Structure 1
Amino acid sequence: MKSSLTLRVTLAFVLIVALTASLLGIYLYRAFVAEIVRRDELQLLGKLRQVQIVLGRPGAAELLAAQPDFFRDTMSGQENSLVRIVAPGGAVLADINPAGERYPVPPSAGAAPGHGAIVAWTARGGVPGRVVAGSARLGATPVTVVVARAYGERTAMFARYRARILAACAAGALLAAVLAALMLRRGLRPLRAVAEHAALVKPGALAHRLDIAGAPSELRPLVDAFNAMLQRLQDGYARLSGFSADLAHEFRTPVTNMIGQSQVALGQGRSREEYEALLASNIEELERLARMIESMLFLARAGQEEVVLARQPLEAREELERVAGFFEGMAEERGLRLQCSGEGRIAADPALVRRALANLVSNAVRHADAGSTVTLHAQPRAGMVELSVANAGAPIPREHLEHLFERFYRVDSARSDAEGSTGLGLSIVSAIMTLHGGKATVQSHGPETRFTLVFPTG
């Protein structure tokens, strides 16, 4: 359950709703409390003003002296409203305090006190209260009027309001959890479709694709990536199947040759020279197998990026001349001339660059017309350096050009087999260029065929 996307998103959604509702509830509660407190303070100041007005009427002194209960009966209004009238000498002329509450007597704030003159106090049982004092005139005598009030009913009301807010937050969180679960179950339906489709993928069923038209816009990149992955898998599987068939064929030919020759030789007695010829032929076939296996191992490591490049600055012209010098003997046997030209500087692995160039020069020497010139040229271009190997010979048909760098692909398989080709040389060249972040290209126009290695300068 910890790994459930629905559960995690639901919990996150519930937490967000609960937090938002709690913050909103706290804000509304504080605003409500502040408004009630402000209203109660206005009522307290209003009661003080009412007492001041009554005391200022004619005959108020006689009424207070003759009927002190008048203020208790008519001015308090509620049991928790307390009124005290104090003479200048401190004598209490009236004290409306049925419950005998003890509250502080603040200094008089004058005839018209404001909210700042109100003092907080605590009644019995921890009930909050407020008290304010102001001046008045009882006939010709100045007096101090103290009005106080305890808010027990307000405390109970606030408690009920808090309980309702908590209940509303809990109910909202529960409702959010249910709605989020339903929403996610419906919203994740396209993902379940992707999972169901992925479960159907197997080597023999890679042609199916997800319908992107019915997918939500948020999932279209995922559907595109999934379809692209299926296409790559299909292409890779097709290449792997073809490669396996080609590999079996390439291995079968030399093995069959060695078995056939050996069986014929053992069919009857042979001379020493015949046995030596047989061994030499078998060694040739084994060397071809060894070259093929080594090339396949290199391509496998390059495909998995296991080849570590030892990059260093190289002068392109020097590398061309180095490789050309190695093939001078082979070129002279066919009456060919190797010509190097150009300039440029690349950052590459020397061993791999020389291997790629050697494969190209070897192909050029084998297929060039006798007596012609094989040219090796280096040329800097914008952001890159091109190393090219060109030879004059039979042109390569256009339909073969795009396949030349594929494994075991040969334009003339019979001729290549006769010359000991493994069909992997150009594939190795392409892999080496991919490791260097460059590319290998081929052009064949008229009698000239040119292979080019494009190295980035960065």
Structure 2
Amino acid sequence: MKGSLTLRVSLAFVLIVAASAAGLGLYLYHAFTGEIVRRDEIALRGKLRQVQQLLGTPDAQTLLHERPQYFRDTMSGQENALVRIFDAAGRLLLDINPLDERYPVPLLAERVEQTPVVAWTSRAGAPAQVVSGSARLGGQPVRIVVARVYADRTAMFARYRRQIVLACGAAAVLAGLLAFLMLVRGLRPLRAIAAHAALVRPGRLDSQLDSAGAPSELQPLIGTLNAMLTRLHDGYTRLSGFSADLAHEFRTPVNNLLMQTQVALAHPRSQREYEELLASNVEELERLSRMVDSMLFLARAQQEDVVPVRQLLSIEDEFARMAEFFEGMAEERELELACAGVGSVQADAQLLRRALANLLSNAIRHAHPGTTVTLAAGVHAGWTELTVTNQGDPIAASDLPHLFERFYRADASRGAGSTGLGLSIVRAIMILHGGRAEVRIAPGTVSFVLLFP
């Protein structure tokens, strides 16, 4: 499971739980031991008061000489209880010390509650505490020292520490197991997505991931993947259609070249016939060359790193340039060219001229003889509009959405000599400029519009 997300998260969860449990255990341990020590101090001061009260009884001197162990019995009769009593001159009147311990004598205080409790360590290494106080024995002042060795406390704390360690370890292991099971179950939708994605094939890009039952955290991922599949499906469909169209478009001129050449070679021909064949072949080859050039341009235009070199261009000058270039073609079709509009536009000069040339050649080719093809410019809603309008046969409404598609011809009978890529190139040029191309239909006229932001 190297590199497994489930394993890594489970281990991280184990470490987090172990650290949290250890911190909690450490806090509880210190709170518990602190409380035990505090209670022992209170109990030790209480034993000091008991001895003080006992010394204040009438028969205290008799007990001190005849029954000294009675004072230890006052300390609950435990052998780890130590009692010393000194007179005013510092002579030792009573010394109950079965363990022969050496321990300090703390300072006296006026009140027992203010008497400091001094901690020390026994000869066996066990923790111990001692407290001192004053009393009167037979009317004479005496000093009491009460101490206690807590060997049982050390063992109890050790057991408590072991229990905390075992509890932390068990909590970490249990947390790791639960985290693993939860992740295995929680990542089930991701495994389902992976299984579904494995079924995606070039011919099955329309298959969408099912978001039903998926947690809300995965909904954006599923939506993004479905959108990606949709884009891939659209791109694959366009590419498949484009490949089919390209094969179809290339097949016609290639078949023409092949058939004409085969017919010419079937029998001896005159020089003039060979020249006519070569001229016809040149026309087909030129058409193929234009098609290849257009395809290369469209392929480059789709690259994200292609950036047009924009400059401020005079619309009037560009229209005049186009009109002069297409003047001869318009005369052949008995058409007039008219230019209207002034101003400027930020655009790549070569790309703008290519777009206008494609629109103008298309307009001249489809205009009725004796009419006028108009180039106009204007500004509308923040867009600079360059319009090429002609008067020709109306375009069917069903053809309008497809006019800018590759190899699409609204009227195939009038597409002779056309590659079917002119309007696609226009749209690609406008996309590069951050604009768009539109077609507008009015009674008796067709207008193609270039909109620059």
Mark yes or no: TM-score above 0.5.
Answer: yes
Contact 1:443 1:451 in 2 (8 A): yes
Residue 352 of structure 1 aligns with which residue?
351
| Counterparts in 2 of 1:399 and 1:224: CA distance versus 1, 3 Å | same
Whether the 8 Å CA contact 1:374–1:389 is kept in 2: the answer is yes
Structure 1 residue identity aligned to 2:447: R
- Among candidates 424, 427, 432, match of residue 435 of structure 1: 432
1:424 to 418, 421, 424: 421
Alignment of 1:38-187 (within 5 A): 38-75=38-75, 77-114=77-114, 117-187=116-186
Distance in 1 of aligned mates of 2:305 and 2:379: 30
**Distance apart, 1:410 and its partner CA:** 0.8
Counterpart-to-counterpart distance in 2, 1:447 and 1:23: 86
User: In 2, distance between residues paired with 1:65 and 1:318?
Assistant: 133
**Residue 295 of structure 1: SS of its match in structure 2?**
helix
Structure 1 residues 285-324: Cα deviation after superposition (integer angstroms, max 9, x where no partner) = 2122122112212222333424243344555555555545
DSSP 3-state at the match of 1:437: coil
Q: Secondary structure at the match of 2:430?
A: helix
Matches of 2:407 and 2:42 in 1, distance apart? 98
Equivalence for 2:278: 279
What does residue 446 of structure 2 align with? 449
State the superposition RMSD in angstroms.
Answer: 2.6
Aligned to 2:401: 402
Output the CA distance in 1 between the equivalents of 2:125 and 2:55: 33
Cα deviation code 1:414-443 (max 9, x no counterpart)? 311x2x211112212222333333322222
Q: Cα deviations across residues 197-256 of structure 1 (Å, max 9, x unaligned)?
A: 222222333444333334333333333333333333333333222212111111111111
Mapping for residues 268-347 of structure 1, pairs under 5 Å:
268-314=267-313, 319-334=318-333, 335-343=335-343, 345-346=345-346
Mark the CA change 1:17 to 1:27 in structure 2 (over 3 Å): closer, same or farther. same
User: Take 1:121 and 1:316, find their aligned partners in 2: how far apart are those partners?
Assistant: 102
Q: Please say which of residues 15-24 and 268-277 is displaced more in the overlay.
A: 268-277
Q: Provide, for residues 343-392 of structure 1, a one-character-per-residue CA deviation record: whole Å limited to 9, x for no partner.
A: 3543x44433333333223322322333313123141534x443333333
Distance (whole Å) between structure 1 residues aligned to residue 311 and residue 21 of structure 2: 64
Task: Classify the secondary structure of the residue corresponding to 1:135.
Answer: strand
Match of 1:259 in 2: 258
Deviations 1:17-75 (A, max 9, x none): 22322222222222222221221121122112222222233343454345434323433
Residue in 1 that maps onto 2:243? 244
When residues 66 and 294 of structure 1 are mapped into structure 2, their CA distance, relative to the original with a 3 A threshold, is same
Shift of 1:175: 1.8
d(CA) in 2 for partners of 1:355, 1:118: 101
Pair 1:75–1:13, CA change in 2 (3 A)? closer
* TM-score under structure 1 length normalisation: 0.89
Q: Matches of 1:146 and 1:437 in 2, distance apart?
A: 97
Larger displacement relative to structure 2 (390-399 or 67-76): 67-76
Q: Secondary structure at the match of 2:203?
A: coil
CA distance in 2, matches of 1:41, 1:315: 100
After TM superposition, the score normalised by the length of structure 2 is 0.89
Is the Cα contact below 8 Å between 1:18 and 1:172 reproduced in 2?
A: yes
Tell me the residue number matched to 1:19.
19
Contact 2:373 2:388 in 1 (8 A): no
Change (3 A) 1:58 1:240: same
Aligned equivalents of 2:324 and 2:223: distance in 1?
51
Equivalent position amino acid for 2:253 in 1:
P
Q: How does 1:211-230 map to 2 (within 5 A)?
A: 211-230=210-229
Q: CA deviation at 1:329?
A: 4.2
Q: Are residues 317 and 65 of structure 1, via their aligned partners in 2, closer, same or farther at CA, if it must alter by over 3 Å?
A: farther
Q: CA contact under 8 A between 2:205 and 2:230: conserved in structure 1?
A: yes
Q: 1:451 to 1:97 in 2, by over 3 A?
A: farther
CA change 1:150–1:236 in 2 (3 A) is: same
CA 1:385–1:160 in 2, change beyond 3 Å: closer, same or farther?
farther
Letter in 1 for 2:31: A
Deviation for aligned residue 1:325: 4.7
Query: Cα–Cα, structure 1 residues 145 and 258, in superposed 2: closer, same or farther, change >3 Å?
Result: same
Q: 1:331 to 1:145 in 2, by over 3 A?
A: farther
Residues 209 and 230, structure 1, Cα contact 8 Å, conserved in 2? yes
Give SS of 1:399's match: coil
Whether the 8 Å contact between 1:18 and 1:169 is mirrored in structure 2 is yes
**1:240-275 CA deviation, whole Å, 9 max, x = no partner?**
222121111111111111122222333334343433
- Write the distance in 2 (CA, Å) between the matches of 1:271 and 1:366: 35
- Find the aligned partners of 1:415 and 1:258 in 2 and give their Cα distance: 21
- 1:332 is displaced (CA, Å) by 4.5
Paired letter, 1:202:
R
Percent of paired sites with the same residue? 62
Q: Residue type matched to 1:272 in 2?
A: Q
**Which structure 1 segments of 5+ residues have no match?**
none
Unaligned runs of 5+ in 2: none
DSSP-derived class of the 1:30 partner: helix
